[in-house]
Structure 1
């Protein structure tokens, strides 16, 4: 039995008919180099032979009576791969537009809870371009529940399922698998009671970490005269932050990764992630302007960050930290905006490192967490108050070498993330084989004219490149991220004060 973390469980509690909480993927394969089209039966046999690399594919949820504690993952004794697969042949309508429309409809449907939380639709009769003689291929539409994976582990799972060479791997018989016995109700109730007894210790630990984070921020404010990270409920109202419906629309645009790296090199002390966020910010600013929306106040993004390298690695689950980031959309110069985004990220980093997202939910028992998540949606709290943030933006580095499935080359992937109450837009940026794809998952009843986002991406990158060219190296010494002797002195002083603080907190824990 492996219990869900509070963060994993929160994605179950937030789910409703209009807010399915799964991560989606649309994978386009070029099968023109195969001697024959890939048959659906061959794909099923291939997937069956690879199930052992993703154990969660054969695990379902075990709920706790009265939600006294979080659910557990247990082996599904009734597992059948056929319950997780579907076949669709687009026929004469096998174009990308038809595929994306089909994917939008499939991704609107929540996953069924009585089985492992994943589903794959095999789409046949698909051509990679709009010509009648275009290259033949197929597509996979994948759904994986956010309670089981985050965007980073989802990318790892796909990498494990696919191949790294164009030569098809021999399909071997599936490994023998025997599900472990389902735990008794008495055992899970006893385990839930034991977990509840540990809650006060978790509360103490979280309070100590929060105190340390706050104190570090105060030290920074005094020594560097920096503003504290954004207070809660300070994000401006935007067209994205309204009550959503069950409808979904997927829009994507790709740019060459070397162009972004050139921008990074030209601006100097920024990261590639800052450039990606700057591209998103410019795209959103142009969209708001085109729609006649007020963009005088800067949008705030929630940016999940993987902490998998800082903790014991698991193949699944959510191992994330998160921070609120001012996107500086009130800055008219897109090159200077990237520098401001970098500075905002640097200023928020102590808070990001201090408290990971999964720890923030440890204060609440499962019954209260489920109730608060439901009330947040049903009482429309997000509509009655200013939002905490305007949209989530996730940047997931992908493989830069081609992937294959039985000799068919993966040529393009699109990724989606769940929407929830008051969040009608989410952006997932994924890089693959020298390209970065910005994936916009929208609720079309909230985000009007969402198709325009695709054109805004290309226009935005051109605008950033022109601004960088005009900027050159001027005012680089005035960049807020440049080091100074005062800051170096501040670092030394802050290090000394942190040592004193750490000793005090250790005595508090003792």
Structure 2
């Protein structure tokens, strides 16, 4: 019996019709080297034979009676793989742009809660041939490729564990393994309501403050009006909302668009070597900052104040040894977008990172959910939307940016090579853009998940990747060997996440005290 953590449960409670909380992936395979295209039935048999390597694929949520605790992951006694798969045949328009448009529509749909929280769409007849062909080479089969559009709920995985799961489901050899019939699977019996309640009782004895949080679900309709009234009276901790207003921080709709641009990892490594004393992650963040700066310039957005990014950091090497679940930390990072020189900006980003305590010892994201229990966090998020705080106050940060190192060796699915992948992350109110950078086989792909009703002309983001990279390369070659002392950021007081959490804690204590009175 495995109960969701506060952090994992928060992704369930924060989910809404306009903000489904799943991580997405579009994996493109070239079937040219196969004797025959991979059929959907063969894929189903292959996936069925690999289910045992990812146990949560056959686990669903079981609620605690009266919702007195977070749900449990239990074996789905009625599991059927067919309920988690769909088949799409591409027509005359079978290029990658059409695939991304299809994926954008699919990724808008929330996962169904009455079954394990994952879904895969098999897209057949894809044209993956984009390179030059010599006169002697045979004509390519322009429909031999296929793709997988994958949705995995954030309550079960994070971006880092999601990459590991796909690595387990795929193969490292171009020679396909034979598909062996899986061993009979026998679901373990789900815990009884009595056992679940006993477990909840033991947890509440250890953490009695959680009773108030759990009770808020049952009386939510009654308390919402009262809390709204109190929030309108309370002075909000304005330093908490320290990031500048930007075109990315407005109320979102359910519309989604997925875009991506791939580039050689070697070019980023060369920039790192030219600038010196920075990390490859600093270069990736610097590239994102240059793209966002150019986009804002084109849309006449003020650049006087620097954008703030939220950058997840995996703490799985220091934390629990689980193959799934969320084992992340978060760091708020000044992107120095008010700095004109893109190479100097990367040095600033590096200093902003190393001067921050989370860089040295990551602050577990569980700390936030322990401070603000997930049921109360969900209620606060809905109130945040209803009170339109995203329009009335500056955001805590402007854009999440995640850099996920992927495998640098090719992966295969039954002899078909994985040639490209796009990755998406969930959006939520006031956050209309998320950037996910993923490396694979010597290339890095910048993935932009956006709400087109918040971020118009999103195509410009990927069109700006190449000129932004060229600008950084040129500036890196002309950069002085060391940063001038007057340009070094102040190392003191830069633990922004710690300060933010302390302000949240103080505001919550004051709010609770006033509500009690």
What residue is the counterpart of 2:80 in the other structure? 80
1:258 is aligned to 2:266: yes
**CA deviation after TM superposition for structure 1 residue 456, in Å:** 0.6
**Please, which moves more after superposition, 294-303 or 29-38?**
294-303
**CA deviation after TM superposition for structure 1 residue 187, in Å:** 1.5
In structure 2, C-alpha distance between the alignment counterparts of 1:308 and 1:459, rounded to whole Å: 35
**CA deviation after TM superposition for structure 1 residue 468, in Å:** 0.6
1:48 is aligned to 2:48: yes
**CA deviation after TM superposition for structure 1 residue 352, in Å:** 7.0
- What's the TM-score, normalizing by structure 2? 0.85
**CA deviation after TM superposition for structure 1 residue 368, in Å:** 2.4
**CA deviation after TM superposition for structure 1 residue 202, in Å:** 9.8
Query: CA 1:351/1:283 → structure 2, altered by over 3 Å: closer, same or farther?
Result: closer
What residue is the counterpart of 2:103 in the other structure? 103
**CA deviation after TM superposition for structure 1 residue 480, in Å:** 3.3
User: Is the 1:95–1:126 Cα contact (8 Å) retained in structure 2?
Assistant: yes
User: Is the 1:96–1:129 Cα contact (8 Å) retained in structure 2?
Assistant: no
**CA deviation after TM superposition for structure 1 residue 312, in Å:** 2.4
**CA deviation after TM superposition for structure 1 residue 350, in Å:** 4.4
In structure 2, C-alpha distance between the alignment counterparts of 1:436 and 1:377, rounded to whole Å: 35
User: Is the 1:119–1:144 Cα contact (8 Å) retained in structure 2?
Assistant: yes
Report Cα offsets for 1:4-53 as digits up to 9, x if no partner.
Answer: 11111111111111100000000000000000000000000000000000
Report Cα offsets for 1:232-277 as digits up to 9, x if no partner.
Answer: 2100000000011000001111111011011111111110000000
In structure 2, C-alpha distance between the alignment counterparts of 1:310 and 1:361, rounded to whole Å: 19
What residue is the counterpart of 1:383 in the other structure? 391
Report Cα offsets for 1:131-159 as digits up to 9, x if no partner.
Answer: 99564200000000000000000000000
What residue is the counterpart of 1:94 in the other structure? 94
Aligned length: 458
Give 3-state SS (helix, strand or coil) of 1:387's partner: coil
Give 3-state SS (helix, strand or coil) of 1:373's partner: helix
1:120 is aligned to 2:120: yes
Give 3-state SS (helix, strand or coil) of 1:471's partner: coil
What residue is the counterpart of 1:396 in the other structure? 404
**CA deviation after TM superposition for structure 1 residue 173, in Å:** 0.4
What residue is the counterpart of 2:338 in the other structure? 330
Give 3-state SS (helix, strand or coil) of 1:411's partner: strand
Report Cα offsets for 1:351-375 as digits up to 9, x if no partner.
Answer: 7726311122113445423322332
**CA deviation after TM superposition for structure 1 residue 406, in Å:** 0.2
In structure 2, C-alpha distance between the alignment counterparts of 1:256 and 1:24, rounded to whole Å: 23
In structure 2, C-alpha distance between the alignment counterparts of 1:197 and 1:379, rounded to whole Å: 35
Aligned partner of 1:296 among 300, 304, 308: 304
What residue is the counterpart of 2:321 in the other structure? 313
Q: How does 1:77-476 map to 2 (within 5 A)?
A: 77-129=77-129, 133=140, 135=142, 136-199=144-207, 231-350=239-358, 353=361, 355-473=363-481, 475=483
In structure 1, C-alpha distance between the alignment counterparts of 2:374 and 2:399, rounded to whole Å: 26
Structure 2 residue runs without a partner (length 5+)? 132-138, 212-237, 493-517
In structure 2, C-alpha distance between the alignment counterparts of 1:34 and 1:133, rounded to whole Å: 12
In structure 2, C-alpha distance between the alignment counterparts of 1:89 and 1:279, rounded to whole Å: 36
User: Is the 1:163–1:403 Cα contact (8 Å) retained in structure 2?
Assistant: yes
User: Is the 1:52–1:175 Cα contact (8 Å) retained in structure 2?
Assistant: no
What residue is the counterpart of 1:32 in the other structure? 32
In structure 2, C-alpha distance between the alignment counterparts of 1:235 and 1:414, rounded to whole Å: 28
- What's the TM-score, normalizing by structure 1? 0.86
Structure 1 residue runs without a partner (length 5+)? 204-229, 488-510
User: Is the 1:28–1:138 Cα contact (8 Å) retained in structure 2?
Assistant: yes
The alignment yields a C-alpha RMSD, in angstroms, of: 2.2
In structure 1, C-alpha distance between the alignment counterparts of 2:398 and 2:373, rounded to whole Å: 27
**CA deviation after TM superposition for structure 1 residue 401, in Å:** 0.3
